[in-house]
């Protein structure tokens, strides 16, 4: 049985927005991460920088206008193939993003729902390892200050 060829990585970005120790997550509507909770994000459009992608996706999925994107992590994400569906390969840039501290986030675009979650709550959700890793790292950094 042949292993399917993985496509070249597609550029994608996500935005970490934090309020009062809680992280903004969207529940994904579409594959490859359908029904998982993740930071707002998605594929880059032609000509976009990774930071522009993060800000656009944040707005499209939650209605929040982000600013001041700072690169926080980069992941080489490969999934799918044979039983999981078609293979996918993303180079994900994760940004810390500022957003208005009182504007409500509302599910839009390919987000089924949005919510603000503590690190303990994220541990209980179906979330990609990259989300949990970033949230845990941020919590550790906050404690060491």
Region label for 102, one of left (φ > 0), alpha (ψ between -120 and 50) or beta (otherwise): alpha
**Measured distance CA(75)–CA(92) in Å, rounded:** 5
| Active site annotation includes 113 | yes
Q: Residue 61 corresponds to which tokens in the numbers above?
A: 């999925």
Q: Which of 10, 113, 121, 141 is catalytic?
A: 113
Taking alpha carbons only, the member of 43, 77, 47 closest to residue 60 is 43
Active-site positions read: 113
């Amino acid at each position: 049985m042949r292993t399917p060829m993985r496509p070249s990585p597609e550029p994608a970005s996500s935005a970490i927005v934090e309020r009062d120790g809680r992280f903004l997550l969207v529940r994904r509507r579409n594959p490859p991460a359908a029904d998982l909770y993740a930071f707002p994000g998605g594929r880059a459009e032609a000509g976009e920088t990774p930071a522009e992608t993060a800000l656009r996706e944040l707005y499209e999925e939650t209605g929040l206008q982000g600013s001041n994107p700072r690169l926080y992590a980069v992941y080489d994400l490969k999934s799918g193939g044979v039983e999981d569906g078609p293979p996918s390969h993303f180079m994900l840039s994760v940004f810390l993003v500022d957003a208005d501290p009182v504007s409500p986030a509302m599910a839009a675009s390919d987000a089924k729902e949005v919510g603000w979650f503590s690190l303990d709550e994220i541990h209980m959700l179906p979330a990609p390892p990259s989300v949990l890793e970033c949230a845990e790292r941020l919590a550790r950094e906050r404690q060491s200050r």
